[in-house]
Every structure is written in structure tokens, then in C-alpha cells.
Structure 1
Amino acid sequence: MSVHVYERVLQLLEAEGIKTLFGIPDPSFFNMFIRAEQRGWQVIAPHHEEAGAFMAEGLWRMTGTPGVVVGNQGPGVANLVPAAINAAKENAPVIFIGGQRAQIAAQRVRRGRIQYTHQYRYFEEAVKYVGVIQYPEQTDEIIREAFRQALSGTPGPVYIEIPMNAMQAELGELPPPAAPEQYRLVHQPANQQAIDAAAELIRRAQMPLLLIGQGAFTARAHDALAVLAHNLQSPVIHTYPVSSFLAGVEDRTFPCGFSPAGVEAIVNSDLVIAIGTEIGEPVHHGVAGHWAKGNTGRQWIHVESDPLSIGVNRHIDVPLVGDLRDIVPQLNAALKDTPRQRANAVDRWIEMHAEFKTAQRLAAPSGQDLIHPARLMVEATGAIPKDAVFVRDGGATSIYTWTYSQVSPKDSIWNQNFGHLGTGLPYAIGAQLAVGNDRRVVLISGDSAFLFHTSELETAVRKNLPVICIVASDYAWGVEVRGYRGMVGENSPETEAHWGKQVRLDKVAEGYGAHGEFVEREEDIAPAIARALASGKPAVIQIPIDPVANARDVPGHEEYSTWYNDFFY
């Protein structure tokens, strides 16, 4: 039987394991939405296309399968552009699909074309591939090329435009869509010679360490990485503070630069195995900061899918080019017969880090009229479920979690490369769709970041997604206040709201049909979280915090500020 283009697109997406569609219905996509629901898809209509794209990215982060979002011609597509830029910086293979007027509009010389612009040009700078289905017969090849580009080398977003005349066109009888391995590279192991060289370096090393970036976790390679960490018996260094943790090695996982134990582990290392990381500015490209101390002759193994990335930021002794999901099992197989003994220094660093975390927890100011943000983090993260998906948003709020978080989450989601505020609630919704009812998703956000997409609380209520949102409210652009005051003095009217005009986000949540809590005492934080979890509903727990401390006392600011320093070039 013949099929329409909109249904063929769904078939091609299903071949890639996709059955969730984000987007706001419009005539361009009415038939696609209806057929998707008939085929058993989850169809999620957000209140803003940008938020829908962040939801798609959140789903990808928890599944390893690209998320798909559509935008309707004109303003709908325009709303997707910031999210596409963000996805590019986050190396997220989000599939953006844009509707467009019939292709005849592209060549008209008459003025006044409603909602028509050259949309694809918006995306050309940001995404890895732009394809316009001008002719229905191109549908398969353009969709396949989009996936080929999105998932080859460094992952990234792509944009596909489908004009109305092509979307509604009827194709002839077609064969079933090809499986991914029939048209693109699915597995990419490293060559055996490189694996053997890496294994030999590891065997000879006295003090190896694993440097793990967020890419290792978005690849959903937790289990294989945990086996490697067990084989190495080494410290694990997070490229960003409070990333996802590997099961069984939580006690010897340290943030780069934000823990004395992590610094000592770096300084004393003689071999670094870098996986899922660009070796970027937060780790000083592996050549400066802490890496310029101690054993500066340490050797490096880098697992990287893009061969053009090898050796750019620093010299790599053994590059392992390929997909980490293939390469890490290769390393595990090569090392399985040569188990390592844990060095005494690692046990000392474990104890040192535990003492550091205890000292930080005890140092969090307590008993103040306004809750100190450090105390909020201690109380809140100590009360969330141990298996929760931990989502963060905001400037100062996210930075406070680096020092004071009491959880070691298997999955932690943060907009770490681009720093786009407002991703938290949409990420949380996408993550909750991924885990279903098996786990809870908990967001900790600043109020300014949370207000970007508060309307998506209604989406969570409508779809019965019980995300918990803990909102630290200083009624200001917290971390920006610090910079503003440092530049022009105490008066910063554009970054701070009037304290007497607080927005009651808990009441906003209740208006959407969610659970709301307003907490003004630190001892009430944990009980409020327990009630929110028990409600089984989306929830907002609003906690007013000390705005002066939120701007002035941001922990680790000295280390964080070095990320923007060009001192090592």
C-alpha cells in the first residue's frame, strides 16, 4: 500500500527506536500527530517549542536515543533555534523537524508571504546537517542522512524541513525502512593494536586515574565503565562537579579541582584514561592548573569518536578512536586477566574526600532568619531518593550543589557546556518520560531559571509526570548580582527584585494542578520533600534563601573562574 510522507517519516524514526514526539500541533503536522498516536507513540505538546526541544534532549540524556521535536512554520521553527544552538554545544543529537509553507512560496517574488522565511538558514551555523525534503522521493535519503550525521563522530543536532506540499504527498508502495546498521555505522570499535597499546600502558601505570565526562553517561555506558573502574581500582575524576556516578565507585569519585582529594589524585597520576570528554576548559585542557603540577610527564589515553579531536587540546599517547560503548568493553576484555590492587594512596584520598564533604556539610550556615543556600543544598539533597535522577538549573544554585550536595546520583543532568538557563524543568520532564514510574526525577533550580518555562508545569500535570522541583528563591539573578556589584557597587536594580514582592511559585504550581510547598525554615525542608514525593504529583517546593549569601558566598568561585581564563594558551 502507498503511504504519505508524514507516515513514512514516522516509520523511519521507528526504525531508529524512536516513539516519542514533542511539538505543538498545527496544520503542518496534524496528520503526523494523529498517526503517531495511532501507532502507539507518546505525543507531548509543550507550551513553547524551545521547552519541547529541551524535553527531547532530556529524553536522549536518559536513553541514548535521539529525541525528536517539531516546530510549525514561521514562529514555531524560530522558537526552536536557541534550543538547536544549545544542543550543538551540548553534543546532543536532537532531531529538529520544521514545517514550512508549500515549496512554491520559496520562489515567489511577491511580497507579504505570511509566516514565510528561509528557515533552514537559521540552523546552518548551529547544527551538523540541514536537509529540506523538496521532493517526496527524497524522504528516506534525507532522514537517513540526518541520523548518519547526528550520530557519527561527535554527536550533534540536525534540522529537517518538510514543506506542506511534500508532507501531504503520497508515496508509492515502499519496502520496510532499513535498519540503522544497513545505512550507517552503528558500531565503531578501536583497532586491536591500539587496544593492546592502551592495555599495556594501564598495566605499567602505578597511579592511573579515569577522567570521565558527561558524554560517557549520555552514551548510557554506566555498567561497562563501572567494570573498567573496578579493574583499575583507580580514582575517578569528574570533569564537572556532581556529574553522574558509577555504581560501586562513588567513594573514590572526585570533582576536578573542587576537592583536595581530587587535586592530589591528579597531581600524583602517571596515566590518565579520558572517556566521554573533550578535555576542555573545566579541566584546563589537561595541561595547566592542577595538571601542571606533580607528575607532569603523565601519559594519556583518550577514547574519542571524532579523529579530528585527537591531540588538539593536548598530546595523546594512545588515541582510541571509536564509540566508547564499543571501546570500553574492549578494554575490559583486555584487562580481565590482570586485575590491579588498589594503591594505599587511593584509600587515603577516599578518607580525605569523606572528611572534606563532612566538613563542608557541617560548615553550611544554620539557624539564620533566611535560609543560607548552602544549608538548603545540604537539607534538600539529603532528603531526595537515592535513586533519583538529579537535574540542576541556574547559576549560583548549580554551583552550590558542587560543594554541598549530599547525593551521588547514577544520573545527573545539567546544561554544563552552554549554561542555558531554563532547561531544568523541560529536562526533568524528558527524563521522567524516560524512566517512567520506576524512579523519581528531582530538579533543584534557582527561581530566575525556573521562571523561564514555568508553564511546562501544566505539561507535567497533563501527562502525569511527578517531577519534584525544589526552587531556591533569592528573587534576583543571583550569580549576576555578584558581578554587577563588583562592577558598579551595591545598587543593582536590573538584577534584583524587591524582596516584598515575592512570586509565590507554590501557588502557581497549585493553579496548574500540581502540589505546592512554601518553606521558610530549614528543618521543614525534608518533611516538605517527603510530602511532595508522597503526593505522586508534579510538585514545586519554594524555599526563600538569603540573597546576599547567594551572590556573595558562591563556593569554589576561584576555581570556576579559571575556566574562562586563557592563561594556558
Structure 2
Amino acid sequence: MSRSTKTVGEVLIDILEANGVDTVFGIPGVHTVELYRGLAGSKIRHVTPRHEQGAAFMADGYARVSGKPGVCLLITGPGLTNAITAMAQAQQDSVPMLVISGVNARATLGHGRGKLHELPDQRAMMASFCLMTHTLLEPGDLAEVMARAFTILGSGRPGPVHIEIPTDVMSAQIPATVPKAAPRLRPRGEKAVIEEAARLCAMAARPLILAGGGAVAAADAIGMLASRLDAPVITTANARGLLPGHPLAVPASASLHSVRAEIAAADLVLALGTQFGPTDYDVYVDGGFPKLDSVIHVDVDAVQLSRYPDSRVSVLSTVENAAADLLSLVPDVLPTRGGAERASLLRQSARSELSAKMQHEVAILERIRTALPGLIIVGDSTQAIYAGNLYYDADRPHGWFNAATGFGALGYGPPAAVGAALAEPGTPVVCLTGDGGLQFTLAEIGSARDAGARVIFLVWNNDGYQEIETYMIDNGITPEGVKPSAPDFVKIGEAYGLPSWRLDDISELEAALKSAAGHGGPTLIEVHERHTRGLRL
């Protein structure tokens, strides 16, 4: 017999299901157990990390690959503060994340009486970087608040949303109505604005497209538009794999001189879903990115459109909608602009601009890609990832992402790779992490095993924070604090029950990856710059 009422915690699970949530990440505690009351009877899978930061990083990786919000259930106080780093990374990289936390009972809020896990004002702390934060003081407001949260997550520029529920509200009884999915309001450019953008596209003699992370969902339409305009497509790190193998694709950073020269030579730049942030456009902080005189800037966020560059046409729209609208107006037959030749020359010049060491690292990344076609590489801040962000061509959308952009959080890779693997269980996922970064979230190897996540943890061991050590030396600073000791990662992997091995020679990499991919769960492979022959020039 159906019930006329349910607890807030039970209805919350119903609402999550109605909005397409199939996985949540969290560590249950006394401040959230009532949110779990309806979980066992639902179709939602619960994944338990070893740390709340890991929960939110998992949600991040899951969201990037699935396209759906990553969802966390966290206790009040330390559970939520542990996740702030990962939530801030999601804010920087525009990743949809829904964090539902506990908070102490309503009558205690703001009194500072030393309640367990108490903060002076938890919601105010989250308001500094969340798209929305709300304290559910009235149980009957649950459906309305959750609808607003999901609409925000699915409509404009994505990011973290936070809902906190007091412990006494979680167990309150409310009507057990059938929840509905929240509306997604995807902006579309005004007709006159799109028409002007199409006119400029048709007139351009040397057009060029800059595609950021906000463009990935529109890969097919962008490919058709680029072909029609005969325009090279330069992708930021978060857009790599947008047009795999396409003759117009240029998987190179706009921080490289050759790429900047091509951008400067364009008479029209079509900027799609990109923030023009320094970690993509000025990674060396030399201020050398060219001034753009003729830009069509497409973004879902009006605030982003108000920032650099001063665009000729600003289009408030999803990239999917804008690309489709432009395709309907730009003529099918346009004069050739030499786009494929420009793109080919730019790929060659951009790659040759890398140091010999970086070119070697990119070649190893390409060996990984060749060994496991269609794979996802989830990176941490390590030297091979830095090289790949400058130049690497993923062979699929969402096939390359990492924490070495935007907020730049170490320890991102292992839990984010777990989330990615759970979003696409049949896809090979390689977590490329350094010995330093892995130790930030080392225990999430155990979470991967519990969840059966088929992640290959590829540990690039260079005995410390080599990137920082090199930076210190280059700037005349005696290196200090850059040699943290590391455990035997193979033994650590084996202790968690993972098949684990260390390569003697880099020539063994492809076979090792294929063997690891055939395993039914997580594995670990270590390559060491001093002990693996061929890893370092």
C-alpha cells in the first residue's frame, strides 16, 4: 500500500531519481543518516570514498563524462569543508555538482553553543563560490528548492550548488507526491544577433574557431560549422578530443607562440564556450596573447560575455544552439580559406615549439592512446599532463581532462578517474598521476576497488615535486620542500588487492596497459624516471 507521507530524506531520494540521478558519492554519518533512509530501496548507487574531498572529486569526474550533475551527500562541518577544494575546482571548470549536506538542528543555528560539527554560518561560507546555497528550514519547501537547484545546474554556466538540511528537518514527514524533473532552460541567441554573426562568418577570409570546455557537447555541430567555414579549430585543454583526427582540429594551447600568431592573423575569431582564462591562454604569464579585433563570443554566461575580449558580437546561448543556428544561416558553399593547410602547418609548428622533454612526454601519451583506443585520460598535476595540456590530441570528446588548469588542485586525478569510470563502465580510464599528487588521495585506490571501477592508475614517479623544483632552479631559488618521500606504490596497490607492477622499460607500456584493461577492476602501473628505461630523455 502506498504511503501518504514520507520523510524529507525519503522524498529527497525520490526527487534525485526523478531528475536522472543514478549515482551519489558520500560518507554517511549521524548528521546525514536520515538522508539515506530511502536510498536502499531506490535505483541510485551509493559510492563510498575514503574522504569527502574524494567524494566531490569523484562527482566531478562523473559529471564531466556523463554530462549529468555529480551528486554528493556530506555531513555538516568537516564533511562539507573537506569537499570545498573539489567544489572550487568544479566552479573554476564549470562542472555541474550538487552537494547536499547536513547542518545542525534549526533551533541551534547561529547560537555558537559548541554543537558537534558546528560552524558559525555554514551557508554563508558556501555562498562565496556556489551558484546557489540554501538552508531548508521548512520541510514543505523541499520540492521547490530542489527544482530550483536542478534548473540552475542544467540551464546556465554549470558549477557547484549546495543545499543544507538541518538534522531535525531530515526526519520530518511531508506529503509523498510523485516528483517531476526540473526544467532545463537552455539559452538561445536572439535572431538579429545570430544573423549578424552568420554574416560575419560568411564574409571572413581567414576565420578561426577557439573551442573551450563549454563547446564539447556540440562537437558534431562544431565539426560541420568548421568545415563549412574552412576554419581551423583550436581547442583548450578541457575541449581536447572535440574533433578527433579532423583535418581542421588543432589540439594545441593558445599559450604557444605559433598558435598565438595564427590567432592574431585571423580576421574573425569564433570563440565557443571558452573563458579566456590564463591557464589556457597565458600559462606562462607573459601577457603575449594577442588583442582580438573581431570576435564572435558564444557563452551561456552573460557575465563571461562582459569580460575580455571586447567582442564584436556577443551571443548569449549554449554552444549547441548557437552552432545549429549558424549552420542554418551560413551558406553551404563558401570560398575555400585554406583551413586544412593552415591547421596542418599549425599542428606541426605548435608541436615543434615544445621542448625535447615535452615532445617525448607527448609521444608517451600517444602510446597510451594507441594502446587503448577511445580511452579517457584523467590527469593530476604532473609533468606529462602539463605537456599534454600544451599539445595532445585525444581521440574522443571528454577523453582528456585534469586539474592542472583553473583551480589546479593536487590529488584530483585518482578520485576523478573513479567517477569517470563509473560514468562509462565499458571505457578504459587511465589516471595519470605523479608520486606527489597521488599521495594526496592515495586511499581512493581502495574506493576504486570497492566500487569495481576499472581505472588504471598510471603513476609517473619522478621522486617529488619535480615541476616546482625545476621552477625554483630556473628562478635562482635553492630547492626546498620538493622531495617528499614516497611509498612503494606497487606494494600499496597490492595491499589494496590491485594487480600492480613497475615497468623496467617504457617499451613495455602498451602491453601492460592492454593487460590492465582486461582486468575486471582497478590496476596500478608505475613508471619511474630513474628506473624505467626510456621514460626520460
Q: Residue in 1 aligned with 2:31?
A: 28
Deviation sequence 1:155-198 (CA, Å, 0-9, x none): 22121111111001110343x223322xxx52321111111111
The 5 Å alignment of 1:108-507 reads 108=111, 111-117=113-119, 118-174=121-177, 176-181=178-183, 186-217=185-216, 220-240=217-237, 243-247=240-244, 249=246, 252-257=249-254, 262-281=259-278, 282-283=280-281, 289-292=288-291, 297=293, 299-335=294-330, 337-340=331-334, 342-344=336-338, 346-351=340-345, 353-354=347-348, 357=351, 363=356, 374=361, 377-378=364-365, 380-402=367-389, 405=392, 407-411=394-398, 412-415=400-403, 416-437=405-426, 439-486=427-474, 489-490=477-478, 492-497=479-484, 502-507=486-491
Are the aligned partners of 1:303 and 1:319 in contact in 2 as well (CA < 8 Å)?
A: yes
Q: Structure 1 CA distance, aligned partners of 2:326 and 2:249?
A: 20
CA 1:145–1:513: 2 relative to 1, 3 Å: same
- Aligned partners of 2:414 and 2:233: how far apart in 1? 29
In 2, Cα distance between equivalents of 1:263 and 1:214: 19
Q: CA deviation at 1:315?
A: 1.4
CA contact (8 A) 2:64 2:420 kept: yes
Distance 1:359 1:278 in 2: 24
Residue identity matched to 1:374: E
Deviations 1:428-477 (A, max 9, x none): 1111111121x111121211111111111111111111111211101211
What one-letter code is carried by the residue in structure 2 that aligns with 1:236?
Answer: V
Q: CA deviation at 1:229?
A: 2.3
- Distance in 1, Cα, partners of 2:451 & 2:251: 37
Preserved contact between residue 265 and residue 349 of structure 1 (Cα < 8 Å): no
Match of 1:89 among 86, 92, 103: 92
Contact 1:28–1:167, Cα closer than 8 Å, also in 2? no
Residues 509 and 540, structure 1, Cα contact 8 Å, conserved in 2 = yes
Counterpart-to-counterpart distance in 2, 1:374 and 1:34: 49
Name the CA distance, whole Å, in 2 between partners of 1:201 and 1:414. Answer: 35
Q: Secondary structure of 2:439's match?
A: helix
Q: More deviation in 454-463 or 308-317? A: 308-317
Q: Please state how far the C-alpha of 1:376 moved relative to its aligned partner.
A: 7.5
Any idea what the Cα deviations from partners look like across 1:292-311, whole Å, max 9, x if unmatched?
A: 4xxx64x2111111223324
Q: Relative to 1, partners in 2 of residues 1:149 and 1:245: Cα closer, same or farther, differing over 3 Å?
A: closer
* Unpaired runs of at least 5, structure 1: 366-371, 554-569
* CA distance, structure 1, for counterparts of residue 71 and residue 226 of structure 2: 33
- C-alpha contact (below 8 Å) 1:233/1:342 kept by paired residues: yes
Q: How far off is 1:268 after superposition?
A: 2.3
Residue aligning to 1:513: 497
Preserved contact between residue 99 and residue 160 of structure 2 (Cα < 8 Å): yes
Q: 1:443 to 1:161 in 2, by over 3 A?
A: same
Match of 1:530 in 2: 514
The aligned amino acid for 1:192 is: K
Instruction: Summarize the Cα distance change of 1:114–1:242 in structure 2 as closer, same or farther, 3 Å threshold.
Output: closer
Q: Is the 8 A contact 1:377 1:405 kept in 2?
A: no
1:252-293 residue CA offsets vs partner (Å, 9 max, x unmatched): 3242346676344313211111111112323359x962524x
Structure 1 contact 469–539 (Cα < 8 Å) conserved = yes
Rounded to whole Å, the distance in 2 between the matches of 1:189 and 1:379 is 38
Which residue type is aligned with residue 242 of structure 2?
F
Q: Which residue of 2 aligns with 1:53?
A: 56
Deviation, structure 1 residue 406? 6.6
Q: Which AA in structure 2 matches 1:496?
A: K
Give secondary structure in 2 for the equivalent of 1:202.
helix
Equivalent residue letter for 1:58: G
**Could you tell me how far apart the structure 2 residues matched to 1:375 and 1:223 are?**
26
Q: Which moved more, 1:227-236 or 1:239-248?
A: 239-248
Q: Is the 8 A contact 2:268 2:295 kept in 1?
A: yes
Tell me: CA distance 1:129–1:379, structure 2 relative to 1, closer, same or farther (3 Å): closer
- Number of matched pairs: 524
Q: Does structure 2 retain, via aligned residues, the 8 Å contact 1:96–1:160? A: yes
C-alpha displacement of 1:360: 6.7
Following the alignment from structure 1 to structure 2, what is the Cα–Cα distance between the partners of residues 17 and 517? 39
TM-score for both structures, normalised by structure 1: 0.84
1:364 deviates by 5.2
Q: Quote the Cα distance in structure 1 between the aligned partners of 2:391 and 2:68.
A: 32
Which residue in the other structure is 1:16 paired with?
19
CA distance in 1 between counterparts of 2:362 and 2:314 reads 43
For residue 76 of structure 1, what is the amino acid of its counterpart?
A: G
Q: 1:418, CA displacement in angstroms?
A: 0.8
Q: Is the 8 A contact 1:259 1:353 kept in 2?
A: no
Q: Between 313-322 and 522-531, report the one with greater CA deviation.
A: 522-531
Distance 2:230 2:339 in 1: 11
Structure 2 segments unaligned to the other structure (5+ residues): none
Say if 2:525 is the partner of 1:541.
Answer: yes
Determine helix, strand or coil for the equivalent of 1:96. Answer: strand
Q: Per the alignment, do residues 341 and 546 of structure 1 end up closer, same or farther by CA in structure 2, a change over 3 Å counting?
A: farther
User: SS of the residue aligned with 1:432?
Assistant: helix
- Measured against aligned partners, the alpha-carbon deviations of 1:342-380 in whole angstroms (never above 9, x if no partner) come to 43363154155247648979x559xxxxxx973883574
SS in structure 2 of the partner of residue 180 of structure 1? coil
After superposing on structure 2, the runs of 4+ consecutive aligned residues of structure 1 that deviate more than 6 Å are 358-361
**Paired residue secondary structure (2:457):** strand
Report the counterpart of residue 567 of structure 1 in structure 2. Answer: none
Quick check: 2:104–2:166 contact (8 Å CA) kept in 1? yes
Give the Å deviation of 1:331. 1.6
Structure 2 distance, partners of 1:227, 1:345, is 13
Q: How far does residue 332 in structure 1 lie from its aligned partner after superposition?
A: 2.0
